[in-house]
Amino acid sequence: MNMKLKIGVIVFLLTLSVYALNTFAAQYNFTPRVSARETYTDNVFLTDENTVDDFITDVSAGGTLSILGRTSGMNFVFDPAYVWYEDGSRENTWRLPATLDIWSNLSPKTRFEFFNRFLRSEDPDENRPTIAEDTGEIRAPGDSTVRRGRGWYITNFTTARIDNQFGRDDRVYGQFLYSLRREEDPDSNENDRYAPSAGVTYWFGPQWGTTVDVRYTRALFNNSDDYHDLAGTFQLMRRLTRTLQLFGRYAYAYRDNDGDDQQVTEGDYQVHAPSAGINYEFAKDARVSLGLGYYYQEFKDSEFDNQDGLFINGDLFKRWNFQRWSASLLGQAGLDRNDFGNERLGFEQYAGIIGNATYNFTRNVSGNLNLRYRYSEFVNESREDERIGLGAGLSWLANKWLALSLDYNYSKLNSTDVEDYDENRVLLRLTLQPDRPWRF
């Protein structure tokens, strides 16, 4: 990332923050916290054989700043941590996670949102998806590819979006996405992505409607071809009831890799992917979408073989809230291009599920369970990955300022192309945090 771009991003973020501070006639809340965590892992480098265990200590000090107004708001979460490795399996280092979320209702039917997630870490498991708790929206995708070792990496994922509702169910949006990845290893998949997109949903009458989405992506890599990518989706919908719809969808993508004009560029292709299915949205915190389709990937002047096959479109979200327990379930499936993680693996079919549940045994003691599963078939790599994660824990609120938690996490990778691994982690955390935010 060149210096001019760094300065531009910083100035842009500061400008938005100053705008928020100066324009939100609002309530200012700050929740400070200090945390110390001890982690035991039996496979610090995520290998199949000759595994190495270690105790890892991290101490963090940060907090959450919230500015809440009548029509606008901002949340800034920052928890920098310093990390020690007891057995010297990795040099001590810093972890720097930060999330900035700004929103403003510019008018009763127009909303602006700015979201930024920054992460510097050496932990391969820390770059998980950022998911909105109430809606199940994936705000930042995380990394679903394989990473080993403990070298540091930096990721940043930014979106700026404006939505306008111009009818009861008619909407139009524009969005700009920017992401980057930097690594300690200069031979890794460092990249920058610039992706403007726009879309419209319009209902011709009470029963028939359409959705059109278009996205352009410019992707820059340090160790592989840069590319231009154009993708679009056209969808026709037939409403059966207020919450139940049938849809027919056609998705198209065109990939143009940079290369010498005098040579054949390997990997240029286009994808056609028609599908059909149902949408069922029965509450703000509950939805189901399921479709079946067929894709055809056609390469241009390339040594790669054309690919085709059936695929499933899926999107499931449900949240439960009761007096003593709460739970959420998010599932997704479809086609994607997986280029911006630790590995650049390209065109894939995927299916995944994330589940969480919390039960309050008493006012001060609670337990939690979590599940993660993802299956990926990388079409042009002849590779299949299956990733499994399971976890359970207990939390005790000792008093208004002090909380203790004990967690166990298990993760496993099965792959047809790279070395498998499994890992067990035990985590003990102490957190000092007021039970109520400071208001000013």
Check if the beta carbon of residue 343 is closer than 8 Å to that of residue 149: no
pLDDT confidence of residue 91: 80
Check if the beta carbon of residue 332 is closer than 8 Å to that of residue 131: no
Q: What percent of the chain has pLDDT over 70?
A: 92
CA 253 to chain centre: 22
Measure the CA–CA gap between 106 and 194, rounded to whole angstroms.
25
- The phi-psi region of residue 209 (left if phi > 0; otherwise alpha if psi is between -120 and 50; otherwise beta) is beta
What residues contact residue 244 under an 8 Å CB cut-off, 6+ apart? Answer: 278, 279, 280
What residues contact residue 362 under an 8 Å CB cut-off, 6+ apart? Answer: none
Domain 3-439 in CATH 1.20.120? The answer is: no
Check if the beta carbon of residue 245 is closer than 8 Å to that of residue 236: no
Chain mean pLDDT for the chain:
92
**Residue 12 pLDDT grade (very low, low, confident, very high; cuts 50, 70, 90):** low
Tens of pLDDT, residues 385-428: 999 999 999 999 999 999 999 999 999 999 999 999 999 999 99
Q: Answer with the residue of higher pLDDT: 138 or 22.
A: 138
Q: Answer with the residue of higher pLDDT: 424 or 135.
A: 424
Residue 375: closest CA among 388, 361, 364: 388
Q: Answer with the residue of higher pLDDT: 84 or 13.
A: 84
Tens of pLDDT, residues 72-104: 999 999 999 999 999 876 789 999 999 999 999
> Residue 195: is its pLDDT beyond 50?
yes
Q: Answer with the residue of higher pLDDT: 304 or 95.
A: 95
Lowest mean pLDDT among 40-49, 300-309, 324-333: 300-309
Please give the average per-residue pLDDT across 228-257, as a whole number.
Answer: 96
So where are the chain's domains? Answer: 3-439
> Residue 188: is its pLDDT beyond 60?
yes
pLDDT confidence of residue 4: 53
Q: Answer with the residue of higher pLDDT: 372 or 282.
A: 372
pLDDT confidence of residue 118: 97
> Residue 23: is its pLDDT beyond 60?
no
Lowest mean pLDDT among 169-183, 213-227, 251-265: 251-265
pLDDT confidence of residue 261: 43
Tens of pLDDT, residues 32-56: 999 999 999 999 999 999 999 999 9
- What is the rounded (10 degree) CA torsion for 364, 31, 152, 416? 50
